Amino acid sequence: MDQILTDISTNLQVGKAKIVVELVSKALADGVPPKTILDEGLLAGMSVIGQKFKNNEVFVPEVLVAARAMNKGAELLKPALAAEGVSARGVAVIGTVKGDLHDIGKNLVKMMMEGKGIEMHDLGVDVSPERFVEAAQEHNASIICLSALLTTTMTEMKNVVETVKASSLAGKVAIMVGGAPVTQAFCDQIGADCYTPDAASAADEALRFLAS
């Protein structure tokens, strides 16, 4: 059983989606519990990629192909996980703030968080503060993730914080911020809950929030 889980993890890390799907399918047929395949195969592989990305040992393209392989394997596992009553580790909504169309970093954050077993709802780009609040309410999210790449749009993050504070979500959701121009000082200044400089750290912090 250990070998097939290791094989899932290593093939995922090099983005071999087709092989990952075959191995997940074989593991299920061999009776490996779906939660074990998820934790010790798919999520374990994505965790290695996250760490390597943080250390600049792999770059955006490698993360994208690994995430694709993970998503393909996870798709196959979904019905089995649902049948076992395994649910996500938590729910988050994510988007790029109003006026901003950059989405590569946001997509990486989403993938890394999915790689930690978090259910992600992607609102896309140019997302208004009201839409973030609406979506978080709709999906019962514990975290709102904001990305901004422009000095002119990062200020929108403050509007989201204020809109959340004025809503029924006040004190109930954590607001995480990031993107090239965003800093810890800016995060503190606007009253957001957490800043992280990269996608892998964002996923680690999100898990910490969900566990607390």
Residues that bind ligand B1M in the complex, under the rule CB under 6 A:
60, 99-106, 108-109, 145-147, 149-152, 176-181, 196, 198-199, 202
Q: Which is nearer to ligand B1M, 24 or 146 (CB)?
A: 146
Question: Rounded to the nearest whole angstrom, what is the least distance from the CB of residue 127 to ligand B1M in the complex?
Answer: 12
**Ramachandran angles phi, psi of 54, nearest 5°:** -60, -40
Residue 130 token pair: 């009201």
Q: Which is nearer to ligand B1M, 81 or 110 (CB)?
A: 110
Check: CB of residue 182 under 8 Å from CB of residue 154: yes
Secondary structure (3-state) at 92: strand
Q: Which is nearer to ligand B1M, 115 or 179 (CB)?
A: 179
Question: Rounded to the nearest whole angstrom, what is the least distance from the CB of residue 179 to ligand B1M in the complex?
Answer: 4
In DSSP notation, 95-119 reads EEBTT----HHHHHHHHHHHTTT-E
Question: Rounded to the nearest whole angstrom, what is the least distance from the CB of residue 21 to ligand B1M in the complex?
Answer: 26
Secondary structure (3-state) at 175: strand
Token match 């800093």: residue? 183
Check: CB of residue 179 under 8 Å from CB of residue 128: no
Question: Rounded to the nearest whole angstrom, what is the least distance from the CB of residue 143 to ligand B1M in the complex?
Answer: 8
